[in-house]
């Protein structure tokens, strides 16, 4: 897995780099947004970009927007010290797949990366099983980091009070079957989704989706006509150990509607089930 790490603070960047390499990830480092964009162009392909928001020149948001426009299938995670909800939503609306809020633990970051990579590469049953094992290991590691020496090293290296953030209790194991067992192609007119190619077409026109959007569309299409709760979507798409806001689901649904609906404000395909979640309508057209 190739990771683009954009972080202007050398101490934090160095510590994150060490933990990524410990997990057998290749790391490309950048201190500025301009350098990150140049690396993406000259050193690609890159699987996942980790983007700090607060930078000396162009912001991580601007880098996110440009990377998403150039590389629609790249995974993007924002690293932000901001707690304001509007900043999280802004990053997601620009195309980020996820965000990790500082202070964060190495275990939390690794869990998020592997969860995103699982959404990008669910090609075989063996890959899917390996991804679940990695996610469980990373989640367990994140939960125990309060007594892990790595946190002390992070605090000392960064010269700050970075500590492990508390984890929500993981939800019950889903009974939803793993993606690798599903049909290789799904047809819900006027859409066709290819699992092997990881592509979606509306009639004969391809709809370009991010890894997270594609996984969310697949989940809803495989359960066409059924109401799927936000909690279930969060578990199936972002992973059992995801620590974040349910609004990440809503923002991604809004992005998908912008791409597939003629009138996103009056959607014909993805219906909101108020107070619960979403449903892909069966047998409808615009």
The predicted structure's pLDDT at residue 286: 61
Mean of per-residue pLDDT scores for the chain: 79
Domain boundaries, the chain: 2-158, 179-280
Q: For the chain, what is the HEC assignment?
A: CEEEEECCCHHHHHHHHHHHHHCCCEEEEECCHHHHHHHHHHCCCCCEEEEECCCCCCCHHHHHHHHHHHCCCCEEEEEECCCCHHHHHHHHHCCCCEEEECCCCHHHHHHHHHHHHHHHCCCCHHHHHHHHHHHHHHHHHHHCHHHCHHHHHHHHHHCCCCCCCCCCCCCCCCCCCCHHHCCCEEEECCEEEECCCCEEEECCEEECCCHHHHHHHHHHHHCCCCEEEHHHHHHHHHCCCCCCCCHHHHHHHHHHHHHHCCCCCCCCCEEEECCCEEEECCCCCC
pLDDT tens column, 175-221 = 333 333 345 788 898 999 988 888 899 998 999 999 899 999 999 99
Over the stretch 235-286, which tens digit does the pLDDT of each residue have? 888 877 676 678 889 999 999 999 999 999 999 999 999 989 999 998 666 6
Look at domain 179-280 and name its CATH class.
mainly alpha
- pLDDT at site 161: 34
Determine the topology of domain 2-158 in CATH: Rossmann fold (3.40.50)
């Amino acid at each position: 897995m190739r990771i683009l790490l954009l972080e202007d603070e050398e101490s934090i960047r160095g510590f994150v780099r060490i933990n990524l390499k410990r997990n057998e990830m290749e790391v490309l480092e950048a201190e500025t947004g301009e350098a990150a964009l140049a690396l993406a162009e000259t050193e690609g392909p890159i699987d996942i970009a980790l983007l700090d928001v607060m930078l000396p020149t162009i912001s991580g948001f601007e880098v996110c927007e440009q990377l998403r426009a150039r590389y629609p299938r790249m995974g993007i995670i924002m690293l932000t010290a901001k707690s304001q909800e509007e900043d999280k939503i802004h990053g997601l609306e620009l195309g980020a797949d996820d965000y990790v809020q500082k202070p964060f633990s190495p275990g939390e970051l690794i869990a998020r990366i592997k969860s995103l990579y699982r959404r990008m590469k669910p090609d075989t049953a063996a890959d899917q099983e390996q991804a679940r094992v990695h996610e469980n290991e990373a989640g367990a590691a994140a939960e125990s980091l309060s007594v892990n020496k790595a946190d002390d090293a992070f605090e000392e290296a960064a010269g700050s009070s970075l500590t492990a953030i508390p984890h929500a209790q993981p939800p019950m194991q889903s009974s939803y079957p793993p993606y690798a067992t599903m049909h290789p192609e799904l047809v819900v007119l006027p859409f066709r989704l290819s699992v092997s190619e990881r592509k979606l077409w509306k009639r004969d026109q391809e709809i370009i989706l991010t890894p997270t959007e594609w996984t969310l569309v697949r989940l809803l299409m495989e359960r066409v006509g059924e109401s799927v709760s936000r909690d279930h979507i969060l578990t199936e798409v972002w992973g059992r150990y995801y620590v974040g806001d349910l609004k990440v689901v809503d923002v991604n649904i809004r992005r998908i509607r912008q791409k597939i609906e003629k009138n996103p404000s009056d959607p014909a395909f993805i219906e909101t089930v108020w107070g619960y979640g979403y449903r892909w309508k069966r047998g409808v057209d615009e």
